[in-house]
Structure formats: structure tokens, C-alpha cells
Amino acid sequence: MPRPANAIDFWRGCALVTISIDHVPGNLYVNYTLHNFALSDASEVFVFLAGWAMRLVADGSAARSNPGAANWRLVRRSGRLYVSQIVFSLLALAILVLGAVVLNAPFLYDWNAAGTVFADPVRGLIGLATLLTQLGYFNILPLYVILMLMAPVMITIYRRWPMLLLPASLALYAVVLASRFNLPNWPAPGSWFLNPFAWQLNFVLGFSIAGKTGIGAFARRFRWPLFVVSLPILALGLLASQTHFAPISPQTPWIRLFVAFNKTYESPARLINMLALAAVVPGIFEVLHRVIAPVTSAFAKLGRNSLSVFCVGSLASLVGQIYRYVVGGGALNDTLILVCTFLVLWITAWYTEDLSPRWSLRWPSR
């Protein structure tokens, strides 16, 4: 039996739907997703909640009784994420080829940064295999792969020196932002779109706040003051996103990323905005669940099956992009894409959660 709908799964489901919408450029509903109302976007929420979920696992009896086995499960999960990234990147490439051939549209070979692979398949395939080539909108799983590889270290620090985890994570974050270190792309120039060594702080914050000790205890004890403090932060985030404000980049290189609203390096302003969201928004789930339980349950179902939903959602967004090229945009088409995408995501979750166990078929991982 799947666990009942809860706030974490619900917001994860919301983040997954938002990501799917954001990945169809130009569509009407892109104007109403989180990034229009805050400095942070759905990917930040998603990673924060992944850290939160990791804490629940780490504090579970299975992980505490056998930490070695729990760590090995994290490494295996990293492997499953890697396989998912490779398989779904190849499926995305196949969809683009099919579209390009059927529609006589050679520009589809370029979409989602696929041009790197098609133009130079020998090096491009090595790039895909090593995660140094990432298709556009397929940048989150490589980040997860690294985070899962880092997770055993994080959890070991948490068990032995719980007060050290957040400072260690902050120190790594500060060094990365000051040095502007990032993993490279290859064979294309540039670097990773989501820098795992910066984004790990987001993950660790989720992990830490989910706990009932340390900063988690602080967040619970001062829930209402934090709620009140967060409101003006959210208002500023709303103002900045609506006015497209971004700070002037300082001349001094090492402080630039601390000041900016940089997504690649998950700059502090974006993190603070996301923490403010975390302080204000979660309570809404309880209210919504009392009023529209079927809807909140549907979103929670997506959240419980986040890997499969994310992967299939990436392909659904790609099909949505091609559909828009053929048929055009507009309210009707964009609404159709939105409804179909949600249905595809829900069917994927239903298959993963309800159908595949009955058929003894398993999705690689939830």
C-alpha cells in the first residue's frame, strides 16, 4: 500500500508538474509558474524536498540499524538515476530524430542541446555517458546522481558529528561560489547548468530542516516568527521576479556569485527565497487536502513516484514542444498540452505504483 498523501509528496508533485510546464518554452502557462512569483523555481523546491525525504530515510529504523547497507542503497540509487538519465536522454534523441524525419524539420536535431550529439556523435556519446553532455531540460538527474554519491558522506557526518553537517556544506558552498568551480561540459564548451557542489547546500538544508534536532528543531520552535519574517522576503522575491530585477554584478570576481541571482551556482538570494517559501507554504497542504482531497492526492501520487514521473515528464515536454511547432501556440493548444501532460504524468505514477507491482514489473526506482 502506498503511503497516504502528505505535504512533501504533494509539493513534490506540484514541482514535477511545474517543471514539465516550464520545459515547453513559449506556452501560456509558463507565465504562471513559480519563477514568475519568486526568485527560486520548481527545481530548487524539488531538490530541497529530496533532501527532506533523505532525512526521513536516514532517520528510519532500517538505515539506523544497518548504516553500511543504507549507504550502499544510496550508491545504487545513484546508479539507477544514472541509468535513467542515459535511457531517457536516448529516448529524447529518438523523439527528435523521428520528428525531424517525419516533419522534414532539420532544426529538431538541435533542440534541447541535442546538436552536440548529432553533430559529433562519437564524442557526443562519450559526453552523454560521462554526463558531461546533458540535453537541455535534462540537467536535474545528473545533479541528483552526484548528490546521491555525496549522500553517504553527508549521512556519515550527520551520524557522527551532527552539528558539523550544515557548516561543512556551507563551507563547500562558499568555496565553490568564491572560486567559481564547476564541472565542465564536454565536448561542448561551458560547464554544468546546475552545479552539484553549490546545489548540495539546498539538499543539505532540506535534510537538516526535516530533522527534529538542530536547525530542524529551531525551525519548528520558531515556526510562527519565521513565518512572519518570511512574508516580506517572499514579497521582495515577488517584486524582483515581476520587475525582472537582478543585482548589478560586482567587479570583484569572488563576491559576484554571492550577490547575483545565479541559478547555476544557486546563489544565496535564491536559497533564501526558497527557505521563505518552505516556511510559509507547507501548511497550505492541510487546508487543500481537507477541501479537494482527490486533487491533492493526485499530486501526491506524482510526488511518491518522482523519478518515473520526472523522466516521462521530460519526454512529454519534448513532445509538447514539437506539437507547438506543428500546430502553433495559443490558449487552446497550450491547455491541451497541459492537460495531456498531467494525464501522462498521472498514468506514469499509476503504472509505477499500482500496476507494475501487480504485473511483477518494476520501474527502476521510485
Name, in order, each residue with C-beta under 8 angstroms of 283's C-beta and a sequence gap of 6 or more.
Answer: none
> 213 or 249: whose CB is closer to other proteins?
249
Nearest distance from C-beta of residue 128 to other proteins, angstroms: 14
Q: Kindly report the backbone phi and psi dihedral angles of residue 329, in degrees, each rounded to the nearest multiple of 5, phi listed first.
A: -90, -145
What one-character DSSP code corresponds to residue 181?
A: -
Using the rule CB under 8 A, give the single segment among 10-18, 77-85, 113-121, 225-233 that binds other proteins. Answer: 113-121
Which residues between 24 and 53 bind other proteins (CB under 8 A)? 25-26, 31
Using the rule CB under 8 A, give the single segment among 75-83, 241-249, 286-294, 340-348 that binds other proteins. Answer: 241-249
Q: Work out which of 65, 68, 122, 189 binds other proteins, going by CB under 8 A.
A: 189
Q: Using CA of residue 281, residue 283, residue 286, residue 288, what is the dihedral sign?
A: negative
Length of the chain: 366
If binding is defined by CB under 8 A, does position 188 make contact with other proteins? yes
* 221 vs 283: CA distance, rounded Å: 15
If binding is defined by CB under 8 A, does position 133 make contact with other proteins? no
Q: Work out which of 12, 256, 289, 301 binds other proteins, going by CB under 8 A.
A: 256
Name, in order, each residue with C-beta under 8 angstroms of 228's C-beta and a sequence gap of 6 or more.
Answer: none
> 57 or 105: whose CB is closer to other proteins?
105
Reduced DSSP (H G I as helix, E B as strand, rest coil) percent helix, strand, coil of the chain, to 5: 75, 0, 25
Nearest distance from C-beta of residue 136 to other proteins, angstroms: 6
Rounded to the nearest 10°, the torsion over CA 289, 293, 294, 296 is 10
Nearest distance from C-beta of residue 353 to other proteins, angstroms: 32
If binding is defined by CB under 8 A, does position 253 make contact with other proteins? yes
Q: Total number of residues binding other proteins (CB under 8 A)?
A: 43
Contact 206, 46 (CB under 8 A): no
Q: What is the identity of the amino acid at 195? A: N
Q: Work out which of 190, 225, 232, 357 binds other proteins, going by CB under 8 A.
A: 190
Name, in order, each residue with C-beta under 8 angstroms of 60's C-beta and a sequence gap of 6 or more.
Answer: none
Nearest distance from C-beta of residue 263 to other proteins, angstroms: 6
Contact 146, 203 (CB under 8 A): no
Q: Work out which of 55, 77, 263, 270 binds other proteins, going by CB under 8 A.
A: 263
Contact 6, 43 (CB under 8 A): no
Which residues between 141 and 170 bind other proteins (CB under 8 A)? none
If binding is defined by CB under 8 A, does position 121 make contact with other proteins? no
Nearest distance from C-beta of residue 112 to other proteins, angstroms: 6
If binding is defined by CB under 8 A, does position 113 make contact with other proteins? yes
> 208 or 267: whose CB is closer to other proteins?
267
Cα 258 to the chain's mean position, in Å?
A: 22
Q: What is the identity of the amino acid at 161? A: W
Footprint on this chain of other proteins (rule: CB under 8 A): 25-26, 31, 105-107, 109-116, 118-120, 136, 180, 187-190, 193, 244, 246, 248-249, 251, 253, 256-257, 260-265, 321, 324-325, 328-329
